[in-house]
């Protein structure tokens, strides 16, 4: 991460979305020039103790890139070459949409957090599906996060999700139903059991598998129980816990904390881990743990709480391209310390 320590102050002088575009531009250039094959050797930790099998996929390590970083599926190989064990692209919607007005992404430097109100900006299912089909994908699982188009009425959500799935189905290794982003009006209403069931059943009818659902950290416990019971009843393949939160902890120090949108990063770590644990205690389905992962200890906490694999985004912004390598090296040390042979042995150890 030494080079990133030098680059980070320069990037952080730029507006957050401009900095993101600069970084993704560099990664895209590296991928086009096949430089990802060069730096993969530096960033990748190849050790069978890190391997995980979950929802029909084989992960070389449990650390993945969360949806939101690569919305249009432009960088799967470049991100995998940074040592990540999977990459989730999207969220992708049926319709191309510009998202919310800028500025819509904010750094909370003092809190190592972000607030975003992006609004599912993406090129749409047709374009993203064509891009996925046309490119050489990495040897790690590539998931597709599917959201609802802003213009689509809630009652038409099932067909909207199905349209997107059918355009990305050939290339995606797994599919995540996103009904938990706080930045699309009315979207979280789709976490209601009846509404969610209609969407999931429509996708299952279309053949979507492995199929997971992504839950909000702001759901009341009863609603989480309903969602998990539905996932069990329908035979889904997993649950992602969690998305960003609209709540604001009282100890946030950054003035940007007042911005409207979803909070991610360090301040939600404990809350996200609690949600992982709550879900894992109520299902045998694999859980994907997301929220506040910056270090090996953060990832290990979620794994011991029941997460089979873990995702991050904000940690990549603050810690840089070496974060997956650092976490995977640290996980091996933690496994040795606690007497586990593999990461899989540690899953749910604290339940």
Q: Which residues are catalytic?
A: 181
On whether 147 is known to bind a ligand per the annotation, the reply is no
**Exposure on the CB side of residue 105, measured as CA atoms within 13 A:** 18
On whether 269 is known to bind a ligand per the annotation, the reply is no
On whether 43 is known to bind a ligand per the annotation, the reply is no
CA–CA distance, 122 with 30 (Å, rounded to integer): 22
On whether 277 is known to bind a ligand per the annotation, the reply is no
Residue-wise DSSP of 204-244:
HHTT--SEEEEE-TTS-HHHHHHHHHHHHHHT-SEEEE---
CA–CA distance, 293 with 132 (Å, rounded to integer): 27
> Which residue matches tokens 């990540």?
84
For residue 281, the surrounding DSSP H or E stretch is: none
On whether 91 is known to bind a ligand per the annotation, the reply is yes
On whether 244 is known to bind a ligand per the annotation, the reply is yes
On whether 265 is known to bind a ligand per the annotation, the reply is yes
On whether 2 is known to bind a ligand per the annotation, the reply is no
Query: 262-265 and 287-290: which strand pairing?
Result: unpaired
On whether 297 is known to bind a ligand per the annotation, the reply is no
CA neighbor of 184 nearest in space, from 261, 245, 264, 70? 261
Q: Inter-axis angle of helices 193-205 and 221-234, to 10 degrees?
A: 20
On whether 313 is known to bind a ligand per the annotation, the reply is yes
On whether 192 is known to bind a ligand per the annotation, the reply is no
On whether 214 is known to bind a ligand per the annotation, the reply is yes
Distances in Å between the Cα of 194 and the Cα atoms of 141, 163, 189, 205 are: 30, 20, 10, 16
Strands (E), 257-304: 262-265, 287-290
Instruction: Please report, in angstroms and rounded to a whole number, the separation of the first and last CA atoms in the chain.
Output: 34
On whether 106 is known to bind a ligand per the annotation, the reply is no
On whether 120 is known to bind a ligand per the annotation, the reply is yes
On whether 8 is known to bind a ligand per the annotation, the reply is no
Annotated binding site for substrate: which residue ranges?
71, 116-120, 178, 183, 243-244
Annotated binding site for FMN: which residue ranges?
67-71, 91, 145, 178, 214, 242, 265, 292, 313-314
Annotated binding site: which residue ranges?
67-71, 91, 116-120, 145, 178, 183, 214, 242-244, 265, 292, 313-314
């Amino acid at each position: 991460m030494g080079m990133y320590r030098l680059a980070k102050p320069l990037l952080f002088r730029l507006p957050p979305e401009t900095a993101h575009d600069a970084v993704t531009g560099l990664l895209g250039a590296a991928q086009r020039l096949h430089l990802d094959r060069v730096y993969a050797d530096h960033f990748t930790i190849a050790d069978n103790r890190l391997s995980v099998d979950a929802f029909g996929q084989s992960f070389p390590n449990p650390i993945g890139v969360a949806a939101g970083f690569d919305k249009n599926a432009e960088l799967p190989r470049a991100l995998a070459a940074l040592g990540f064990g999977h990459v989730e692209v999207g969220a992708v919607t049926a319709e191309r949409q510009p998202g919310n007005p800028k500025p819509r992404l904010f750094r909370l430097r003092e809190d190592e957090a972000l607030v975003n109100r992006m609004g599912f900006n993406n090129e749409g299912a047709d374009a993203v599906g064509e891009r996925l089909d046309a490119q050489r994908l990495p040897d790690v699982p590539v998931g597709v996060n599917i959201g609802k188009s802003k213009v689509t009425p809630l009652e038409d959500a099932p067909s909207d999700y199905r349209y997107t799935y059918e355009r990305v189905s050939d290339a995606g290794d797994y599919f995540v139903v996103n009904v938990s982003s706080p930045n699309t009006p009315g979207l979280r209403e789709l976490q209601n059991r009846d509404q969610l069931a209609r969407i999931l059943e429509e996708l299952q009818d279309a053949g979507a598998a492995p199929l997971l659902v992504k839950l909000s950290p702001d759901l009341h416990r009863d609603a989480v129980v309903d969602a998990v019971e539905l996932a069990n009843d329908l035979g889904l393949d997993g649950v992602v816990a969690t998305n960003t939160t609209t709540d604001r902890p009282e100890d946030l120090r950054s003035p940007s904390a007042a911005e409207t949108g979803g909070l991610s990063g360090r301040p939600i770590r404990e809350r996200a881990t609690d949600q992982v644990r709550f879900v894992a205690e109520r299902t045998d389905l694999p859980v994907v743990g997301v929220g506040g992962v910056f270090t090996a200890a953060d990832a290990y906490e979620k794994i011991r709480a029941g997460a089979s694999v873990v995702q991050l985004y904000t940690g990549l912004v603050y810690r840089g391209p070496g974060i997956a390598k650092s976490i995977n090296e640290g996980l091996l040390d933690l496994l040795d310390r606690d007497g586990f042979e593999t990461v899989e042995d540690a899953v749910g150890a604290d339940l």
